[in-house]
Structure 1
């Protein structure tokens, strides 16, 4: 209202004109980005000539008498401010050895750069090769004001090297430039200064290309795949990118220090690069954020074109140095999270509806990671990180969480990938439920999570992983000392939820807060039933998902022995030697279809073999209840995991005991059917998830 609203005389460009005037009159902070979609409409055709005129008048009012606007097509405009100043620019190039790269960088810079008021400061960090020493000495002997060599004789510290050079820089502007770069377009520095000379701009970044011409850097997005990452990486340079962002000048929160221009006064005001916390990594991200906090803009321009090979010095590292590099990188990443984690979840240059775990500018399909209309939370939020085994993940994470949400107890989501800490911080769950994760990388992730957040961490276990047999293929998933990995994980979580009391007893010496929560069937198991006697031969079913070779070995001989007198139905993986004896084999069944499919198999009997080993004590009776929900009688191993009140036939794991039990059921089908019906009654009474059951489960997942 204060600015007079729309100007009718500039219609149809009145909305665009008002936006420009608002920025002029109240500053760019007056314009805020609302992440929620407010209107769905077809955009009216835009008048490029009218917009161009509005922008040129804007430049004139701002005092840029020589400013001009170049149209690059509808909705794309390049503002050339027409600065008259030509300040001295100090170009800082840290280096060690790699003389071929350095010579190419300096030569291309001096031969191609159109802007001439610059000096080059080569900062040598203990070069060792004779050719590097000779070349650098020759430059020093030239005693050129334009090309100088500075010495940094201490251990490598990228931040300290640039800070050291800045002290000797004579220019009003600094350019940080990697030694593995080369100038492609002679107007690269003019394009940086076009924005860098604007008083509201603190930092300007260039468009960097790999030697093959693909995009290496086109701005940095906070929170993308960790603390911050490059979108559009390896995209073809002629592509326009999301919303044409590869083609136009724009504000970013961060740009890369591989080629970065900053006003020296801003550099000093921000304190330069942090040479204590960010010696090698994230120093440019930290610096740009410090500049942003001072109130300056960071601008990325595609019109400053520089080739950047990237990470050349790291490609020839030996194993020991790579391990040291990884440890240092993780330490600096931790430092960054401690300092900036909340900031990384809300990058103003990135829409909240876009994912943080992909390549960048991809839609996030989980609404809880995007649109949260309330500024308070009516329900606690749970994030579940489940293992990749779909059945196990469904039983212990996905189905319980869905049931809790349906009952109005929690909000939440489940994923099977490692969530970046920025995703966790953005989602802000009260509780993080983790299933069967023990790897060394997970240990580091969990330790880091504890350093930067106070989220309640719950570990879900359904097996005694410390007692996995040496022959188990899961040994490849949990390399090294599994017992130590399990102890380390237990030490870093707040609570452990297990499937059986036996597993709880095994773990209690290592953790003080263990809750037993038996697995339950989802409501879609409630009203199922099989039709018995539908075949001339008895149909006997086995679900091999989750079973090991040693479990199936208990009944393999019996499958061969009874092959002529029964119809064997196997669901799941099958050894080649068993296939000839099967009547029906279903290698896979979609989890959501499994209850109905199992009922339609019309089984007369089901077998559930399980080796009596220590790692099986957490197995639980869920498999038995699945058969029971369909009124199928069950013969199972008499082992710790399968003991309880369920009305099933338990047998010793000797082949003679299995044979005798099978023959008893086959000899009296009516009595066998009664056992199945009684088992079904038990399952329907106490084995199905209901509101009361999921209330108990939700309490196990939440603090308190």
Structure 2
């Protein structure tokens, strides 16, 4: 820049003005990881935000936000009680998903809102009742498949302040996944929080959604587990264009404020539409790489995307989905 300014005949000057002062000991230096950690802690204190700062590696920090008031979280899961072979073993997807949540999750103020098709075997309902006890809210569904409608019905039946939208074909990896999502969701301006999802072979399925050219995709799709980029996107909570509803946390009030899932997108892109409505309401979508689950994608439904789904999405949001604003992991 200096060379170009000189070549064009411009003068480079030093302004004798103090723009900032480092509040550090004489032998300290603002460029160290420790001093930057103290800056973050001071900012949190001044902002009235209670959080613990963890140094993951030099210059990479994770904030563990304290949960305010331990609100009830309603886990909304649509299912038909189907089975699939996972890791060489046949398993009832929704039962094993719920079992993992019950056995591993360290956050306990939960209810399970299971929206079950009429075809769901009685044995599956019995297993869910045994796992969940009085935390189970069973919602009947006897219409043709419509993911959006099923989730809306579950949300209407939920009693929690927050809705954890979840597919039935997942398996929890991180025990504190709900606290991590809830801590982020309670921060000012955050509307919806998503997770890092892995395929069965441990490659990445989802690290936030990417919107470009009017089409939606997933950041870091197919990456080998443990891979990262130069700015540590897989180690830092950050804003994204959207998050998949295979695992997403949103305030119940906000969910209904933006109209929940649109019935015009019964099978695909309904979560993209929801994210766009959340962002249009002035809230952000945040991806947390510290919330980790396996997602046995398409084990429980036909993954085919209809041309009509894409047309509906683009008719609504194409102009706002032309340029990806957040992710480098494409």
TM-score bracket, shorter-length normalisation:
0.7 to 0.9
Choose from 98, 122, 127 the match for 2:119. Answer: 127
Q: 1:5 to 1:313 in 2, by over 3 A?
A: farther
CA deviation digits over 1:295-349, x for unaligned, max 9?
A: 111110011111111011346xxxxxx9xx55xx210110111111111113321
Q: 1:48 to 1:102 in 2, by over 3 A?
A: same
Give the aligned partner of residue 246 of structure 2. 258
**Correspondence 1:91-130 to 2 at 5 A:** 91-99=75-83, 100-127=92-119
CA distance in 2, matches of 1:53, 1:143: 43
CA deviation digits over 1:56-105, x for unaligned, max 9?
A: 111111112x4221122233211222233210000011001314111110
Q: What is the count of residue pairs matched by the alignment?
A: 303
Q: Does 1:334 align with 2:311?
A: yes
Q: 1:92 to 1:72 in 2, by over 3 A?
A: same
Note the residue ranges of structure 1 that are not aligned, 5 or more in a row. 13-43, 316-321, 352-359, 362-704
Give the aligned partner of residue 10 of structure 2. none
Q: Does 1:75 align with 2:67?
A: no
CA distance in 1, matches of 2:68, 2:146: 37
2:114 and 2:138 in contact (8 A); partners too: yes
2:75 and 2:113 in contact (8 A); partners too: yes
Q: Does 1:54 align with 2:39?
A: yes
CA distance in 1, matches of 2:276, 2:322: 13
1:92 and 1:174 in contact (8 A); partners too: yes
Q: 1:350 to 1:111 in 2, by over 3 A?
A: closer
SS at match of 2:183: helix
CA distance in 1, matches of 2:129, 2:21: 65
Choose from 276, 283, 286 the match for 2:270. Answer: 283
CA distance in 1, matches of 2:65, 2:130: 40
**Correspondence 1:130-279 to 2 at 5 A:** 132-137=121-126, 139=128, 144-223=133-212, 227-275=215-263, 277-279=264-266
Farther-moved stretch of structure 1 (298-307 vs 142-151):
142-151
SS at match of 2:76: strand
Farther-moved stretch of structure 1 (279-288 vs 45-54):
45-54
Q: Does 1:88 align with 2:72?
A: yes
SS at match of 1:346: coil
SS at match of 2:319: helix
SS at match of 1:305: strand
CA distance in 2, matches of 1:283, 1:59: 35
Query: What's the offset of the Cα at 1:202?
Result: 0.8
Choose from 317, 322, 326 the match for 1:345. Answer: 322
2:241 and 2:326 in contact (8 A); partners too: yes
Give the aligned partner of residue 6 of structure 1. 19
CA distance in 1, matches of 2:94, 2:163: 19
CA distance in 1, matches of 2:125, 2:66: 37
**Correspondence 1:393-408 to 2 at 5 A:** none
Q: Report which of the two has the higher share of strand.
A: 2
1:139 and 1:149 in contact (8 A); partners too: no
CA distance in 1, matches of 2:93, 2:224: 24
SS at match of 1:122: strand
Query: What's the offset of the Cα at 1:10?
Result: 4.4
Q: Report which of the two has the higher share of helix.
A: 1
CA distance in 1, matches of 2:205, 2:220: 8
Note the residue ranges of structure 2 that are not aligned, 5 or more in a row. 1-16, 84-91
Give the aligned partner of residue 308 of structure 1. 295
Query: What's the offset of the Cα at 1:139?
Result: 4.3
Query: What's the offset of the Cα at 1:45?
Result: 9.3
CA distance in 2, matches of 1:142, 1:181: 16
**Correspondence 1:264-663 to 2 at 5 A:** 264-275=252-263, 277-314=264-301, 325-326=304-305, 329-350=306-327, 360-361=329-330
More relative contact order in 1 or in 2 (CA 8 Å, sep 6+)?
2
1:173 and 1:261 in contact (8 A); partners too: yes
Q: Which has the larger radius of gyration?
A: 1
RMSD across aligned positions (CA)? 2.4
If the length of structure 1 is used for normalisation, what is the TM-score? 0.41
CA distance in 1, matches of 2:112, 2:230: 36
Q: 1:244 to 1:139 in 2, by over 3 A?
A: closer
2:22 and 2:30 in contact (8 A); partners too: no
CA distance in 1, matches of 2:219, 2:248: 17
Query: What's the offset of the Cα at 1:106?
Result: 0.8
